[in-house]
Structure 1
Amino acid sequence: MKNEIKVVIEAEKGRVDKVLVHRLKDYSRSQIQAWLKEDVVTINGEIIKANRKVAAGDEIVITIPEPITLDLMPENIPLEIVYEDDDLAVINKPQGMVVHPSAGHPNGTLVNALLYHLENLSTINDVIRPGIVHRIDKDTSGLLMVAKNDKAHESLAKQLKDKTSLRKYVALVHGNISHERGTVNAPIGRSKDNRKMQAVMAEGKPAVTHFSVLERFEQFTLVELQLETGRTHQIRVHMQYIGFPLAGDPVYGPRKTLPGNGQYLHARLLGFKHPTSDKEMIFEVEIPEMFRKTLENLRK
């Protein structure tokens, strides 16, 4: 039997998140926000967002998800540690590796590998994301910064929020981009048609991606992209939005046209100020072998 909470609106007005915080005294604001993000809150049978306004007679139902037990176990998974000191580590994540455990990926993740290879990890994020300051998609390869203590985590997270860190990607996209550079400034939110996808929408969160052309092929373009913001699937959504979806992208791209397992997207360069020394740190890694071979074949 499902565990449900039902709330019938009588005279309350305003946003559903604020109404629920007022009505459900036994639950925290953060728990209610989490339910809304997990799409388990409905009004009159319809899944809604936190900013949905309520009306008299509305029936709100929260279907509380079954608790997921995840045992975080250190796993001896090979890991390319580009840099490490007492405060942080920089990892070159391979394509195909999930960053942290979830219901669909309980083990074999970057976090499981970090627990094996590193002695300390920050504890600011929830229990399944120790050390994780930012993420890249499962099938995106490249550089990630990992915090080894909470002080370092706060510093690195603040740099991301303040847009002072540097993140540059390389991607292979469908089509031939005629201009040398451009900027996509388009807000991103969860798609109304497919809840597993993101989309450009007026009510989304601000998202800015800069790009420049590195090399052109007959049907593809190699681009460098720099993130100003870090929305979920940002590069993939923005490039699809302007008509140049990523090659190999199973979600936002056309039918598979090149070999490989996922989008041709690589986090090549990462820069930030060291949380203790304040020294400027910049790291760069080459594109993976499959990516490199595909470019060689396109040049032929």
Structure 2
Amino acid sequence: MRYIDLPEHGGPEVMQLAEGDRPEPAAGEVLIKVEAAGINRPDVFQRMGLYPPPPGASPIMGLEVAGEIVALGEGAGRWQVGDRVCALANGGGYAEYCAVPATQCLPIPTGFSAAQAAALPETFFTVWSNVFDRAGLKPGEVLLVHGGSSGIGTTAIQLAAASGARVFATAGSDDKCAACERLGASAAINYRDADFVAAVREATDGHGADVILDMVGGDYVDRNIQLAARDGRIVNIAFLRGSRVEVDLLPLMLKRITLTGSTLRPQSAEAKAAIARALEANAWPLLSAGKIRPEVSATFPLEQVAEAHRLMESSSHIGKIVLTL
């Protein structure tokens, strides 16, 4: 099979198209002939040497794929050869074939192309596990999504708005803010021009945000604490501005704030399977009914993976970037 090799760490140019053996599905796995693979920020960090794959995972980059099942390992459960699925991979997605745990597969929603389906798993698993499971967002509550125009952000806005929450977002341009509002945000704040703490407080009559989903970190940590409502929950899933900060933690006591976070890739197979079941029950009907859709900003053929990574690093895109095979 063809796949993207990473012979050394560095910039996008270090990735190379290579040929190697097709993987064989182990017990509990299925083998997918990949038609499309999503690109995610962790892929960039892995390429740079900052996010090594966990033990036992494929060294090939790529955490989400869509395509057709072509082989089954023992105990593959509900799936059959010929089924069209999208899947959260533990690695190996930048390739013509990818072996994934059967419990991390989901049917491609009605009417979806492979490119659209490949844009689903990583962001939907991340948003569901953090916003709904970990933070317990409820209908009528206020959610603030930082990085609202990212793949995670566009997913969080749509899922939260569909659940009955009131959503606010931050983004770095007027065009990105407009996209966030089109997807369901009550208002989006251009962080280059306005203070999101003041803006959300004013829009909520001083209430603040019940849940904050943050991938920025740095100075946002203290500002999130300022903005959080009583009994608020702040979830960090990345720290693009750094994870080492100095903050006054007294407001956590006074407002009973929960400050938490998580990463997805190292979680157990059982935990990922539970997220998949929750998504199929709660989010997949919305996707098949056309009530929510992944935002696919651009697609690139596999051999143009370097250009795809450059676009990811530019942060000029809105939504997801996908490789097609």
Both proteins in one fold, TM over 0.5: no
Higher CA-based Rg? 1
Q: Normalising by the residue count of structure 2, what TM-score does the alignment of the two structures yield?
A: 0.27
Q: Normalising by the residue count of structure 1, what TM-score does the alignment of the two structures yield?
A: 0.29
Please state which structure has a larger fraction of its residues in helix: 2
Which gives a bigger RCO, structure 1 or 2 (Cα 8 Å, sep 6+)?
Answer: 2
